[in-house]
A and B are shown apart, each in its own frame.
Chain A
Amino acid sequence: MEMKHKLPGVKDMPAEEFGNNDYLLRMAEELNRDGAGIVLGTMDELINWGRSNSLWSLTFGTSCCAIEFMALGAARYDMARFGFEVTRNSPRQADMIMVLGTITWRMAPVLKRLYDQMAEPKYVIAVGGCTISGGPFRGSYHVVEGIDKIVPVDVYIPGCPPRPEAFFYGMMQLQRKIKMERFLGGRNRKEKESENAKSDGE
């Protein structure tokens, strides 16, 4: 028997309320094409439910965007509602890395190293214009124009800085992505590796 993958909702938000779904749709299609047994599929769902609702992030705040992230930790925006409240300062204990702020050339090797130190499966969220493209500092002699030149990025959150709501949206997108993944069998892992190789080659 096979099970059908559909787009997952997060925290009472149905999938239709999210935009930018092409990527996830493609993932669902692929998963359905490959097919999965009910047992394995249900196990996957259970594991992913746990994984996506307890994302521990390694905060890598270098500048302004990091301050907005602090606001997320405080009472008003309270990211604990979504299971994001545990931030780690050691890459060994983190599931994902939130890159907040401009990455300069001097910092780039540090970021790469921290990413390499994280255990699989791992995810990267690029927050703010700076991490996406260099932002306002594009064209400087010391700014990395997009961290996807160094590490593979799962979710981009644009803004300068993004509003707290945008942070949530981006983080929930990551949750949905994780919910879609096949944890047992590692199909997506392979895809990640090729992504990785691609970005290395650039």
Chain B
Amino acid sequence: MMEMEEKIKQWCPAGGLRVEESGERVLVVMADDLENVCRRLHDDTEEPMDYLRDLVGVDNGPETGTLSVFYQLESARTGRRLMLRCDTRGRDAEGALLPTVSGIWHTAEIKEREAWDLLGIRFVGHPDMRRLYLRENWNGHPLRKDYDMNSNVLDLEAETNADVTEEFDLMADGTLRGHENVVFNPDDFVVNIGPQHPSTHGVLRMRTALDGEMVKKIDPVLGYIHRGIEKMNERLTYPQTLALTDRLDYLSAHQNRHALCMCIEQAAGIEVSRRVQFIRTIMDELQRIDSHLLFYSCLAMDMGALTPFFYGFREREMILDIFEETTGGRLIQNYNVIGGVQADIHPGFVSSVKKFITHLRGIIHEYHEIFTGNVIARTRLQGVGVLSREDAISLGATGGTGRASGWANDVRKHHPYALYGEVDFREIVYTEGDSFARYMVRMDEIMESCHIIEQLIDNIPEGEFRVKVRPVLKLPEGVYTASVEASRGEFGVFLVSRGDKVPYRLHYRSTGLPLVHAMDTVCRGGKIADLIAIGGTLDFVIPDIDR
């Protein structure tokens, strides 16, 4: 770590490097050095920081007059993580500026748009500074601390979307000049898909430019399920914030909540018992199987095969029964809590899980017989929608999607948490990067999850299922993060505490946002008919994207 920081220091001629360490270690870079530092970190020969995990904006409050952006970096080669911070000069239109890094990491393109939309930070040189979640005529930026909650009214007029976007350039004399970039030309043939479309897995909207039946460009329009969770978090006490994580990506309910609990526990210095670690790991894996079964069902149904849908749901119901027995919920379980889990496992838990795993192992061949080997399925998936490894990393397309492109990115393997360091499992990696590989990764992961559960289920130790935690918790000041491998990629929690009983800022790394962003790269040049199948294999859940 030290050599790395020494290196970065040399790349900062303008203002040097400051290290802050309350909670996580954060390297503070001056705005003038940011581009240089990022470029060099990305291009480093030994340890390239080629994966931008997340880009998070924070409002430091009107009294400080600045906004900050945190850059969470990771090296796909070594797995080393690093966090940079850069502050703006001011909060007004001239001051809230930072240089863009979208030319270095592709994923920054969409995340900087998010920061602009919610915090009003303009990125100089970014080709597309449109809002991401909110309507184009929205007033203000909701994550600003001084945002007036009454500054907008519900507008029932259908919205129109501009076909041009703005880019801002900083002139030599320090003034800002804007120019227009074209999203769609007037003679582009643009087809609107969504937001109410049965095969986009939720309320995704894509404006798709076509050339014949070839896809020329996809412009995702998000925000149709933007619930403003991150703003709500700032008013909720820590235990209350937990309730909303289940509703982000409801097929990763356990994992999402696991991440948030881990983050808060680590910040508060709470140690959970081994029993809890066992329960959490098993629940996470059950959830993964649940999600992958639903993936299988939906993918098949999107492609017009109805029987596999019934297969997938048949086994999925068994998992839901297991969940219900212990947690009381089928889909939304509200199970993990700070310091443990809500209730101890049901007396029948162990036997029903074992019964289920045996059943699944015995029946999974049916899935492959009816769909995997099917000639129509294969022709529609193989060689279609190829995502290269470089693109996957640059886009931050984690989870099964990245692993299908040969990027070994499993958080469970590379940054183990809970019991993943102790169990034996294979990280499923394919290299083809096509729809079929993405499909196979998930199917293989079902078996790996079974394998993990089998190692744990008989050895759940005795112990407390929950340590006593005060209902109103105050976390020490600082920046805290945690990440887990959710069902469809890396889910991250980013927490800034100012010592209050509510978080100052609580942000989630969406697993799906980079995947939707990847649609343009993956589908371009392909046929429109493949778009739905590609979307199905990328496997995103929209509420988690919009938050």
Contact yes or no, B228 A110, CB < 8 A: no
Contact yes or no, B225 A74, CB < 8 A: no
Contact yes or no, B313 A137, CB < 8 A: no
Q: Which of A64, A66, A74, A106 contacts B313 (CB 8 A)?
A: A74
Contact yes or no, B155 A62, CB < 8 A: no
Q: Which of B149, B155, B317, B542 contacts A71 (CB 8 A)?
A: B317
Among A33-41, A48-56, A140-148, A177-185, which stretch is in contact with chain B? A140-148
Is B157 in the interface zone, CB < 8 Å from A?
yes
Residue count of chain B within 8 Å CB distance of chain A: 49
Known contacts A62-B203, A137-B228, A142-B227; A110/B332 CB under 8 A: no
Contact yes or no, A143 B331, CB < 8 A: no
Q: Which of A64, A114, A136 contacts B196 (CB 8 A)?
A: A114
Binary contact track B218-259/A, C-beta < 8 Å → 1, others 0: 000001111111011001000000011001001100000000
Taken together as a complex, chains A and B put the C-alpha atoms of A133 and B92 apart, in Å, by 36
Contact yes or no, A60 B196, CB < 8 A: yes
B295 → A minimal CB distance (Å): 12
Contact yes or no, A74 B142, CB < 8 A: no
Contact yes or no, A106 B226, CB < 8 A: yes
Contact yes or no, A62 B224, CB < 8 A: yes
Question: B314 — which chain A residues lie within 8 A by C-beta?
Answer: 74-76
Is A61 in the interface zone, CB < 8 Å from B?
yes
Contact yes or no, B251 A67, CB < 8 A: yes
Taken together as a complex, chains A and B put the C-alpha atoms of A110 and B194 apart, in Å, by 10
Among A2-10, A20-28, A97-105, which stretch is in contact with chain B? A97-105
Is A112 in the interface zone, CB < 8 Å from B?
yes
Contact yes or no, A106 B198, CB < 8 A: no
Q: Which of A59, A68, A71, A104 contacts B223 (CB 8 A)?
A: A104
Question: B159 — which chain A residues lie within 8 A by C-beta?
Answer: 106, 109
Binary contact track B108-141/A, C-beta < 8 Å → 1, others 0: 0000000000000000000000000111000000
Is B310 in the interface zone, CB < 8 Å from A?
yes
Contact yes or no, A64 B231, CB < 8 A: no
B251 to chain A: closest residue by CB: A67
B222 to chain A: closest residue by CB: A106
Contact yes or no, A106 B135, CB < 8 A: yes
Question: A142 — which chain B residues lie within 8 A by C-beta?
Answer: 133-134, 142, 223, 226-228
Question: A60 — which chain B residues lie within 8 A by C-beta?
Answer: 196
Contact yes or no, A63 B225, CB < 8 A: yes
Is A150 in the interface zone, CB < 8 Å from B?
yes
Question: A137 — which chain B residues lie within 8 A by C-beta?
Answer: 227-229, 232, 244
Interface SS majority for chain B:
loop
Binary contact track A136-177/B, C-beta < 8 Å → 1, others 0: 110111111000011000000000110100000000000000
A110 → B minimal CB distance (Å): 6
Question: B7 — which chain A residues lie within 8 A by C-beta?
Answer: none
Within 8 A of B (CB), among A116-142: 136-137, 139-142
Contact yes or no, A68 B155, CB < 8 A: no
A143 → B minimal CB distance (Å): 5
Taken together as a complex, chains A and B put the C-alpha atoms of A171 and B431 apart, in Å, by 47
A159 to chain B: closest residue by CB: B332
Q: Which of B195, B251, B310 contacts A107 (CB 8 A)?
A: B195
Contact yes or no, B154 A144, CB < 8 A: yes
Contact yes or no, B310 A62, CB < 8 A: no
Contact yes or no, B142 A141, CB < 8 A: yes
Q: Which of A62, A110, A160 contacts B202 (CB 8 A)?
A: A62
Question: A71 — which chain B residues lie within 8 A by C-beta?
Answer: 313, 316-317, 320, 330
Contact yes or no, B225 A64, CB < 8 A: no
Question: B1 — which chain A residues lie within 8 A by C-beta?
Answer: none
Taken together as a complex, chains A and B put the C-alpha atoms of A143 and B231 apart, in Å, by 12
B250 to chain A: closest residue by CB: A64
Question: B331 — which chain A residues lie within 8 A by C-beta?
Answer: 64, 67-68, 161
Taken together as a complex, chains A and B put the C-alpha atoms of A110 and B251 apart, in Å, by 26
Question: A113 — which chain B residues lie within 8 A by C-beta?
Answer: 158
Contact yes or no, B224 A63, CB < 8 A: no
Contact yes or no, B225 A104, CB < 8 A: yes
Contact yes or no, B152 A141, CB < 8 A: yes
A29 → B minimal CB distance (Å): 35
A113 → B minimal CB distance (Å): 6
Contact yes or no, A63 B543, CB < 8 A: yes
Taken together as a complex, chains A and B put the C-alpha atoms of A74 and B231 apart, in Å, by 37
Is B294 in the interface zone, CB < 8 Å from A?
yes
Question: B542 — which chain A residues lie within 8 A by C-beta?
Answer: 62-63
Known contacts A76-B313, A110-B195; A63/B158 CB under 8 A: no
Taken together as a complex, chains A and B put the C-alpha atoms of A67 and B295 apart, in Å, by 12
Contact yes or no, B232 A102, CB < 8 A: no
Contact yes or no, B251 A76, CB < 8 A: no
Contact yes or no, B313 A109, CB < 8 A: no
Known contacts A67-B294, A136-B243, A136-B244; A150/B227 CB under 8 A: no
Known contacts A74-B317, A161-B331; A140/B232 CB under 8 A: yes
A97 → B minimal CB distance (Å): 10
Known contacts A76-B314, A139-B232; A107/B203 CB under 8 A: yes
Is B156 in the interface zone, CB < 8 Å from A?
yes
Taken together as a complex, chains A and B put the C-alpha atoms of A184 and B542 apart, in Å, by 43
Taken together as a complex, chains A and B put the C-alpha atoms of A68 and B251 apart, in Å, by 11
Taken together as a complex, chains A and B put the C-alpha atoms of A161 and B231 apart, in Å, by 23
Known contacts A63-B202, A64-B331, A141-B149; A106/B247 CB under 8 A: no
Is B323 in the interface zone, CB < 8 Å from A?
no
Is A43 in the interface zone, CB < 8 Å from B?
no
Chosen A-B contacts, 21 in total, with CB atoms closer than 8 Å, are A59-B198, A62-B202, A64-B250, A71-B313, A71-B330, A75-B310, A75-B313, A76-B314, A101-B543, A102-B543, A104-B226, A105-B154, A106-B135, A109-B157, A109-B158, A136-B243, A142-B134, A142-B142, A142-B228, A161-B332, A163-B330
Known: A62-B202, A66-B202, A104-B546. 8 other contacts (CB 8 A): A62-B225, A76-B313, A89-B197, A107-B224, A110-B195, A141-B152, A142-B142, A161-B330
Q: Which 4 A-B pairs have the closest CB atoms?
A: A74-B313, A140-B228, A64-B250, A63-B543
